[in-house]
Amino acid sequence: VGNLASMSTNGSLTFISFFSFALQSFRRFGNTLSEYFHLLWFWHRALKIIGANFGTSVLSYFIFLKWLLTFNIFSFLINFSFIIIPQFVAAEPNNLSFTGLELLTGAGYFQQTVLYYGFYTNATIHKIENGPSYNMQLAYIFTVGLYFVICFFTLLFSMAKSFCKNFMDLQTYSGNASKILCTWDFNISNEKAVKLKQKNLSTQIKVQNAGAAMLVLPIVASLLNAFIPFFYSWLGCLERYQTPGYHVYVTIIRNIILKISIVGILCYYWVNVVAESESQCWETLVGQDIYRLVLVDFIFCLLGSFFGEFLRRIIGTTFCVSLGLPEFDIGRNVLDLIYAQTLTWIGILFSPLLPGIQFISFSIVFYVKKVSLMMNCQPPRKVWKTAQMTTSFMFLLFFPSFVGVLSVIGVTVWRLKPSEECGPFRGLSSMYAAVSEWIKTLENHTASKWVVWIYHNLITSVLFFFILSVLAFGKNCLRHSHSSLKTKNYKDLESVVLLQIIGILLNTRQQAHEGNIDLNLLVNFVFRIPILAGSRTGLASHQVSTNC
């Protein structure tokens, strides 16, 4: 490995200088491109106003919402280009009449439109004689599949980055030093918000100096029955000023369990009852259910703003002045977003237009929440560990939410029988059969043997995906972690580390192929990555040119 490392060093240095030149040109190109997106200016202004008046913690909700918006617009764009437009070309006329009620129920006129799975043809579309044809079955399953793969890796990368920036190598002490020197929010430029924060800080310091422990949460009494285990495990590692934070955690956990139960029961119902029923087009029925759920959730979100913020402000300023202005409930709102996004992800397979609808609904929610925030809420008084909470929410988005969606979609695509009379997969034994049959036809052509090889050795290889995910997570984590070791020749270390990882990967693959897969080998591989990470420096990845 030593020789290999030195050989690779020279090669990697020239590679890296070329790479940094490429990076610089790419950055300039990206900047020029972004200037043409005037919309970005709208987000920038909105986020600036929110941050200036309410601080970074509340801002993190709106940034999370904006992030979810990009998932939806991307899904809408690829669905539109690859599934919806071809379907428009091959569409059958819609005989049903439109009454206004369909907007609420999603049934009726909408059943014969591109909104639902049932309308899509299973034919190969030929518009031009002897011209290229378009296989709708493959297009449908590959578009949805590709979208989920991209989502998976995007979430994985973001989680790795966020986790390693905010959790690794931290014994977060919220001691005085950190409070005084690291937590002043420079974003806030509203006079009242600044005064409020200053008052909070001086109160905290006074209370701390007076020795008050403040360990008893008023709300613990009512949650004691359900959450004794959680409470005791946290009591063990309580830090002095963080007690309001644990009240937030407990509430969030309760909400999460509630929402997981709801989605879980719904999915069970759809997969086991609706799919097995003899109805004409069960996928469209499921799609309609999800459409209604999304719509009702959107309405409840707006109502929640109305009651939770607007009415609460009226009560707090006129009838019961001791209550005061409400605070923006970041935890509950973010969980609502995650729930809505989970529903959308489940619904993509059954209703390709759903991400577009969700994009519009999220945009309206952004606007309504922003207006409600400005009109009704006061800046937060509680301490909210923004970076760590954002990481936790990202994990929540990945773990119960995205992984759950993948399992439901997996069961639907691999196990359930598509309905006989509608949709792009009619008549097949499962949706996945479209792909396996296509591979079988490819096997007969020698020119496409490489596609078949990729399919059998990589795509169906679970091991490959596991290793790829761990690699992606580890590599992205390396880029963003903060090791206090700084070595001058970190660029050499990076290439050595990469070579070692590739070597381990190839070795593992070889062993697995020979049937020698050893659990020890795998575990060894998995744990070597953090050790390799520890030897790498924490210098930031931004390349600054030398003539500055």
Partner 1 sequence: MGNKQTIFTDEQLDAYQDCTFFTRKEILRLHGRYHEMAPNVVPMDYTKDPDVKLPMQLIINMPELKENPFKERIVESFSEDGEGSLSFNDFVDMFSVLSEMAPRELKAIYAFKIYDFNTDNFICKSDLEQTLNKLTREELTAEEITLVCEKVIEEADMDGDGKLGFADFENMISKAPDFLSTFHIRI
The two three-digit tokens of residue 14, written as one number:
């020239």
Binding-residue total with partner 1 (CB under 8 A):
61
Q: Is 548 in the site for partner 1 (CB under 8 A)?
A: yes
Dihedral over alpha carbons 309, 311, 312, 316 (to 10 degrees) = 130
Q: Which of 78, 223, 271, 387 binds partner 1 (CB under 8 A)?
A: 387
Q: Which of 20, 81, 94, 178 binds partner 1 (CB under 8 A)?
A: 178
Q: Is 48 in the site for partner 1 (CB under 8 A)?
A: yes
CA atoms of 125 and 30, how far apart (whole Å) = 37
Q: Is 56 in the site for partner 1 (CB under 8 A)?
A: yes
Query: What character string, x for contact with partner 1 (CB under 8 A) and - otherwise, covers 201-240?
Result: xx--xx--x-------------------------------
CB of 248 to partner 1, least distance (A): 15
CB nearer to partner 1: pick between 177 and 321: 177
Q: Which of 26, 98, 173, 414 binds partner 1 (CB under 8 A)?
A: 173
Q: Is 199 in the site for partner 1 (CB under 8 A)?
A: yes
Q: Which of left, alpha, beta for 468 (phi over 0: left; psi -120 to 50: alpha)?
A: alpha
The two three-digit tokens of residue 334, written as one number:
């973010």
Please compute Rg for the chain using Cα positions. Answer: 27
Type of residue found at 307: F
Please write down the HEC assignment for all residues of 238-300: CCHHHHHHHHHHHHHHHHHHHHHHHHHHHHHHHHHHHCCCCCCCHHHHHHHHHHHHHHHHHHH
List Cβ<8 Å contacts ≥24 apart for 307-313: 309/372, 309/373, 309/375, 309/376, 309/377, 310/372, 310/375, 310/376, 312/376, 313/375, 313/376, 313/377
DSSP β-bridge partners for residue 134 = 125
The two three-digit tokens of residue 414, written as one number:
């691999």
CB nearer to partner 1: pick between 185 and 297: 185
Q: Is 456 in the site for partner 1 (CB under 8 A)?
A: no
Q: Is 443 in the site for partner 1 (CB under 8 A)?
A: no
CB nearer to partner 1: pick between 60 and 341: 60
Biggest alpha carbon distance in the chain? 87
CB of 70 to partner 1, least distance (A): 17
Which segment (91-99, 174-182, 254-262, 303-311) binds partner 1 by CB under 8 A?
174-182
Which segment (42-50, 122-130, 245-253, 319-327) binds partner 1 by CB under 8 A?
42-50
Q: Is 171 in the site for partner 1 (CB under 8 A)?
A: yes
Q: Is 195 in the site for partner 1 (CB under 8 A)?
A: yes
What is the contact surface with partner 1 in residues (CB under 8 A)? 24, 27-28, 31-32, 34-35, 44, 47-48, 51-52, 56, 60, 165-167, 169-173, 175-178, 180-191, 194-195, 198-199, 201-202, 205-206, 209, 385-388, 482, 484, 539-542, 544-545, 547-548
